[in-house]
Structure 1
Amino acid sequence: MTRLLLASGSPSRLRILREAGIEPLIAVPDVDEDALEAAHPDADVRTLVTLLAEAKARAVVDRLSGDAEDGANGDSVELETGARDLVVVACDSVLELDGRPVGKPHTAERTRTVWQRMAGTSPVLWSAHWVGDLTRDEPRTSSPWRVRDHRLAAGETLVHLATPTADELEDYIATEEPFEVAGALTIDGLGGAFVTGIEGDHHNVIGLSLPLVRGLLADMGVRWTALWNRIPA
């Protein structure tokens, strides 16, 4: 069985995969997203989110292949000893408002500023996906992994937003939910009440587009259903 390794610590992405019949392995990439964004101040949002997804993928793949410097990118990734084939999926999401990126606000003040700008508008949520097909020669040893093939693509979803009242916004900020999500926005949590509609794949807004990943895997000759490992009896 081919296993899927999710290169992300996002609970939402993990939940998407589990609900789709996949119990993934997990490796959290160590990437300074703010530094990468600062290094590309003129990048358009699609380019930026693609760079972020690729950086996360490379951080984890380097650990798998043994190319990471000692102490870099966290500890080694522990995998099943019998695995020979592996699919790695790394994602990043950025909201585009007025042509500019809106990342994770981190603080109450920045969350308030973001929502004051985007309330009642229809921004675009971009989620980039790096999908790699990995293999190794000796599945029952510590043989390093190598990338056999990979694909990189970004999905976009138009998100129509309501205008929260001042009290509603302060209550939402007090939960701290929007602090560490792209664009201070969720549709699968407390913020869902402020989303009046979307145009596109709703999974893309949550952070991982199942149709997009399936298509990228198919392009590499990997069957999506071969990754299923938690189908109810």
Structure 2
Amino acid sequence: MELILASASPRRRELLAQIGVQCRCEPADIDETQLPDEAAEDYVLRLACEKAARVAARHPGEAVAVLAADTAVVLDDDILGKPASRGEGLGMLARLSGRSHSVFTGICLCTPDGEPQAEVVETRVTFTQLNHRQCEAYLATDEPWDKAGGYAIQGLAGAFVTAIDGSYSNVVGLPLAETWRLLSAAGIAGGLEPAGE
């Protein structure tokens, strides 16, 4: 069964490749507006399920599975999206500085012969204290601009992180242990599956 990743994210594709899972990418292009009073966990789960369903609907009767994910960085019950300006980026880093925040990822797998399987994974991330000069230097790089929360833990911003409670790959954009479990249960092989099974 072919796997389609309902995303244009190179990071998610790289994470799947890391565990030996091959896929092709097909973005879902859905409305990602948060609903009024929608909790972050519900939001990422809803978007992951909508993305998977949208792409799966394009392939009726085909032997394809569709995996989708959505990640949110949350501080004080606020979802921190991708910074749209230098000022917004500085504000995000200032809020994250010296504090712990949550990263939630919803994942959903749709297969041709079963109910969608979905779950939410949370990781707690703690930042060191950052000064204005450090924030300015980070925002002068290409790294923060297409990242939720305005930082990339797998890049330079790894230097900001003093503690992680939970899945590291979740913060990058795809919780590998949980994803591997869903894919394995659906019979989608990766690099950890015994040969011939």
**What are the residue-to-residue correspondences of 1:56-135 with 2, within 5 Å?**
56-65=51-60, 85-134=63-112
Residue 95 of structure 2 aligns to a residue whose secondary structure is helix
Partner Cα separation in structure 1 for residue 87 and residue 151 of structure 2: 15
Find 2:141's aligned residue among 175, 184, 202.
175
Q: Is the 8 A contact 1:49 1:127 kept in 2?
A: yes
Listed as ranges, the matches of 1:137-148 within 5 Å are 148=114
Residue 46 of structure 2: which of 41, 44, 51 is its match?
51
RMSD over aligned Cα atoms: 2.0
Structure 2 residues without counterparts, runs of 5 or longer: 193-197
Deviation, 1:188, is 0.6
* Bigger-Rg structure (1/2): 1
Aligned to 1:187: 153
Q: For residue 223 of structure 1, what is the aligned residue in structure 2?
A: 187
User: Aligned residue for 1:203?
Assistant: 169
Q: Deviations over 1:132-177 (max 9, x none)?
A: 112xxxxxxxxxxxx6331111100000111222112111112132
With normalisation by structure 1, the TM-score equals 0.76
How far, CA to CA, are the matches of 1:31 and 1:104 in structure 2? 17
Structure 1 residue 16 displacement after superposition: 0.6
| Number of matched pairs | 192
Distance 1:131 1:91 in 2: 9
Contact 2:100 2:124 in 1 (8 A): yes
2:24 corresponds in structure 1 to 25
More displaced 10-residue stretch of structure 1: 116-125 or 57-66: 57-66
Q: Could you say which residue in structure 2 is the equivalent of 1:152?
A: 118
Which runs of no fewer than 5 residues in structure 1 stay unpaired? 67-83, 135-146
CA distance in 2 between counterparts of 1:228 and 1:6 reads 17
Cα distance in 2 for partners of 1:176, 1:55 equals 30
**2:55 partner SS:** helix
In structure 2, the partner of 1:76 is: none
Q: Tell me the amino acid that sits aligned with residue 190 of structure 1.
A: L
Using the size of structure 2 for normalisation, the TM-score is 0.88
Give 1:81's aligned residue.
none
Contact preservation (8 Å) 1:178, 1:184? yes
Residues 131 and 151 of structure 1 are in contact (CA less than 8 Å); yes or no, is this contact kept in structure 2? yes
SS at match of 1:59: helix
Give distance in 2, aligned partners of 1:202 and 1:171: 24
Counterpart of 1:170 in structure 2: which amino acid?
E
Q: Residue by residue, what CA displacement relative to the aligned partner does 1:59-96 show, whole Å, maximum 9, x if unpaired?
A: 21222239xxxxxxxxxxxxxxxxx5322110000011
Is the Cα contact below 8 Å between 1:3 and 1:227 reproduced in 2? no
